[in-house]
Structure 1
């Protein structure tokens, strides 16, 4: 008899999670399209897309908070909860530099989105999120980060 643990098969994300997750990319896609079609109206749309990306970054921390709160206790919980507030602080930092440099703010949010994948991988390893988690998180975070950088670039005078 062996003590080897058999790998858990990675299943597909639920259809609702996929539909809602990918629909979450629509706001920045629409903002970029409006900016390209009608530059006069596009500026406000780009600003909204950047704020939206910062909100999503903060939302990720809320997801982590909820995931670990249901499964962890003690000192480990304190550490995970501290990690879970970081995305909101990164979004706040982006807001603090927004009026000085839209591109810098977009880069901060994009870096936060990409960096969030490291925490997601740790959540997977610890067994705190479903096995399909990364199948959804990677394309959504990379997609939103790329759209956020594009938003920042298009917002340049």
Structure 2
């Protein structure tokens, strides 16, 4: 595996923090009460995990659009087509309650990892990309599954 540059690694880890916080406040009633009193409902329990998950999944679509713009021909066309589903998935699969939404986001993040692999295979993503994306995705999905269990 290629070494991940420090800045993307730190930003990536920081970006997982809301998912971890969501899972922790689902698992711990005292932490949930603390979070509710100090940060408010929006930053507590399932709400933060689902809302932030939809934002990040849509953000991934923008990243993929950028990767696709580095290619030409059929690879570019396929790349642009692959860039769209994460945002649509986030939009259409997060209604109907936090359990279903968190589960659907988990599926979306795992599918997005396959799209990451496409861009890495065609050398449109940095050489360290998958070294970063795999652990961040697994941590995100784990937290979302905990959130779904609440």
**Structure whose alpha-carbon radius of gyration is higher:** 1
Deviation at 1:142, TM superposition (A): 1.1
Q: Does 1:127 align with 2:128?
A: no
Greater Cα offset, 27-36 or 116-125: 27-36
* Among candidates 10, 13, 30, match of residue 22 of structure 1: 13
Q: CA deviation at 1:21?
A: 0.2
Q: Deviations over 1:67-93 (max 9, x none)?
A: 120x21234322211110110011012
Residue 93 (structure 2) aligns with: 94
Shift of 1:32: 2.9
| 2:149 counterpart SS class | helix
4+ long deviations beyond 4 Å? none
TM-score by length of 2: 0.84
Q: Which residue of 2 aligns with 1:3?
A: none
The alignment of Structure 1 onto Structure 2 pairs a total of residues equal to: 141
Deviates more, 1:132-141 or 1:44-53: 44-53
Cα deviation digits, residues 127-147 of structure 1 (max 9, x gap):
111111111000011111111
RMSD of the TM alignment (CA)? 1.8
Report the equivalent of 1:32.
Answer: 23
Contact in 2 for aligned 1:68/1:128 (Cα 8 Å): yes
Name the TM-score, length of structure 1 as normaliser: 0.81
Q: Answer yes or no: is the 8 Å Cα contact 2:67–2:79 preserved in 1.
A: no
Secondary structure at the aligned position of 2:8 is classed as helix
What's the counterpart of residue 58 of structure 1? 58
Could you list the runs of 5+ residues in structure 2 that have no partner in the other structure?
none
> Is the 8 Å Cα contact of residues 57 and 113 (structure 1) preserved in structure 2?
yes
**Residue 71 of structure 2: SS of its match in structure 1?**
coil
